[in-house]
Copies of this chain bind each other. A is one copy, B any other.
C-alpha cells in the first residue's frame, strides 16, 4: 500500500489517497482519534472520482462516531482497464431496459458475477493493508455499493461484523443462495420508488438473508433520494455493532 496524497479536510478529517498495486483507494481518518478506530469500508457502484462527493460525505458522517472509512476503485471502473465482458453485459442490460424487455438472468450474471469475483479479493487485500496501519483497529463494517459485493464479503470475510446494504434488484440468482449464508447484523436501505430497481426482488433478497438481526429501512424517493437522517441511523447501527 502506497500513499499518493494527503490532506487535512476542514472538519478534522485526514484524507489520504493510496494505491494497492494498481488499485486506487482513499482512506479517511479522524484527526483526533484517541484509540484505534473501527473501520467502515465504503462500497459504491464504481467510479471513485464521480462518487467522491457522496463518499466523503459518508466518511464525514462516520467520523462523528470516531470511525475511519476507506474505499477502493472497482474493477473496470474509474481509471482501471475496462472489463470487456462486463461492458458487453452492461450494453445488453441497457438495451433490454430501453426496449422495456425483461432483463435476462444471463445478462445479470455476466454483468455482476465476474465483478464480484474480482472485487472481493481486492477488498480483502485492502482490509489486510488498512488494518496494519497505526490508528486503525477494527472491527470492520461494510456500507453500501453493489449489493452482491457486500453479500459475498459478508459471507467470506469474518473481519466484517456488520453491513449496511443498499437494496438492488440487478442481483444474480446465485446471490440469493449466498444471502442465506449471511449471519452478521444487517441494515438494508430500500428506496421505495427506485426507478432502477424492482421493489419485489429487493424485498425477496431482504427476506433471504440468514441474519437473526436484519432491519429494512424503506424510504420514499428515487435511487439517489436516501434521506439525510439515514446517515445518522447508519452511524447508530454501526455504533451498536462495532463498539
Contacts and interface: CB of A to CB of B under 8 A. Distances in A.
Interface of A: 192, 203, 206-207, 211-220, 227, 229, 232-233, 236, 240
A218 B216 contact: yes
Given A214-B220, A215-B217, 11 more contacts: A192-B216, A206-B218, A212-B220, A213-B220, A214-B219, A216-B217, A216-B219, A217-B217, A218-B218, A229-B236, A232-B236
A226 to B, nearest CB: 11
A242 to B, nearest CB: 14
Contact of A219 (B215, B229, B233): B215
Contacts of A219: 214-216
Contacts of A211: 220
B220 A229 contact: no
25 contacts: A192-B207, A192-B216, A203-B203, A206-B218, A211-B220, A212-B220, A213-B220, A213-B227, A214-B219, A214-B220, A215-B217, A215-B218, A215-B219, A215-B227, A216-B216, A216-B217, A216-B218, A216-B219, A217-B217, A218-B218, A229-B236, A229-B240, A232-B236, A233-B233, A233-B236
Contacts of A203: 203
Contacts of A232: 236
Please name the 10 residue pairs, one residue from A and one from B, whose CB atoms are nearest each other, closest first: A216-B218, A215-B219, A214-B220, A217-B217, A215-B217, A212-B220, A229-B240, A213-B220, A215-B218, A216-B216
Contacts of A206: 218
A207 B206 CA distance: 17
